[in-house]
Structure 1
Amino acid sequence: MEIGTSIKTIRKRKGISQKELADQCGISTNALCQIELNNTLPQKSTIKIICEKLGVPISYILYFSLTEEDVPEGKRKMFNSLNNLMKDVLFEG
């Protein structure tokens, strides 16, 4: 699971800078950088604030934090298809 990568991907797709999101969340840019690099696991309260500022449910962050390695080998093709559909839903328009 890579929660930081998920946050970074959604933030970038929404065109929000790291500094802007950090400021909105009341954390330092360095703290957000460490989260996005998966060096630090954010507290639940921080994840909640980040999700509110990104305008996505916490479930999206958790879902997109899954990597192919987190899924049983026999289910990876289905996971990848579902993952692409979920990205279309989140990032359309």
Structure 2
Amino acid sequence: MEIGQVIRSLIKKRGLTQKELASKIDKSTTALSQIINGAYEPKPETLDKICTVLNVPKPILYFMMISEEDIPDDKKEVYKILEPSIKEFIFSVFGSNQTEVLN
């Protein structure tokens, strides 16, 4: 999953619009749209602002981007073992459920 897809999903889950998020991070709606559509990679400080507004730590955002297809074949077995535990940890820390955090 691309970072823009994750951000789009979190915007929706938080009940925000792209315009509202753009305003809160001091970016134009066009700039945010370019990030969401994958045309532009956000600068670290922009990503920090996005994470703050969406109330999600940056490492969680990165974890949400990982799919099994991203894992090298020789590491997939370990990934399959660790992924459920990591997700369970994320959900317990954030007091959320999988649908709210990862979908």
Shorter-chain-normalised TM-score: which range? Answer: 0.7 to 0.9
Identity %: 33
Q: Deviations over 1:64-91 (max 9, x none)?
A: 1223321235346557756875572582
Q: Which runs of 5+ in 1 are unaligned?
A: none
- Counterpart CA distance in 2 for 1:9 and 1:82 is 22
Distance 1:38 1:82, change over 3 A: farther
**How has the CA–CA distance of structure 1 residues 32 and 83 changed in structure 2, closer, same or farther, with 3 Å as cutoff?**
farther
Q: Deviations over 1:25-57 (max 9, x none)?
A: 000111111111111110000000000011111
One-letter code of the match for 2:100?
A: F
Take 1:56 and 1:31, find their aligned partners in 2: how far apart are those partners?
20
Count, aligned residues: 92
**Could you tell me which residue of structure 2 aligns to residue 44 of structure 1?**
44
Moved more, 4-13 or 80-89: 80-89
Give the stretch that moved more between structures: 62-71 or 79-88: 79-88
Deviation at 1:15, TM superposition (A): 1.1
TM-score by length of 1: 0.78
Assess if the C-alpha contact under 8 Å between 1:48 and 1:58 holds in 2: yes
Bigger relative CO (Cα 8 Å, ≥ 6 apart): 1
Distance in 2, Cα, partners of 1:71 & 1:42: 23
Residue in structure 2 matched with residue 21 of structure 1 by the alignment = 21
C-alpha RMSD over aligned residues = 2.6
Counterparts of 1:83 and 1:3 in 2: how far apart (Å)?
A: 19
Letter of the aligned partner of 1:69 in structure 2?
E
Query: Structure 2: 5+ residue runs without aligned partners?
Result: 92-96
